[in-house]
Amino acid sequence: MKNRHIPEKYLKKLKLEGILIAEPEVRFTLAYLDKKDRLLGRDWYKGSLVLSEKRIVLLSKQVKFLNIKRKDERFSQFRVNEDNAACLTLVYTAGHDDLSKADAAKVVIQVFTPQAPDLLQQLKDRAK
């Protein structure tokens, strides 16, 4: 599986962990909210999403935007968007990673993929 978003060395590591679902081309957004849930900004990306036995990873052009291990509390916080079943959403408190902006209280990641319901089920199964 050749992928322009995932470095070959990292892809080998994920394969060793056991890839469950791999989406080579997804669109995703990063949105930043203030304490009153007002939008501070939103950025759109194209990238790849991989769910392995140990983690979920979201990358774009070989940059990791999300690398959540099973033990991380955010692993079980994903939801399928009620308005769009093809949208997997994660909302978490800013400060967990480098994605946070200085004024942001929350980070919202939305991944658009037809496999969103399957991904959510796999995430729930692994979070137990």
pLDDT for the residue 96: 57
pTM, entire model: 0.83
Cβ atoms of 65 and 78 closer than 8 Å: no
Phi, psi of 4 (to 5 degrees): -75, -15
pLDDT for the residue 42: 93
Nearest to 95 by CA among 106, 109, 84, 108: 106
- Report domain extents, the chain: 8-127
- Averaged pLDDT for residues 100-119: 83
Number of alpha carbons in the 13 Å side-chain half-sphere of residue 80: 16
| Residue 113 to residue 119: CA distance in whole angstroms | 9
Assess whether pLDDT exceeds 70 at residue 118.
yes
- Averaged pLDDT for residues 80-93: 86
Q: Does domain 8-127 have CATH number 2.30.29.30?
A: yes
Taking only the tens place, the pLDDT of each residue in 9-50 is 888 999 999 999 889 899 999 998 888 989 989 999 999 999
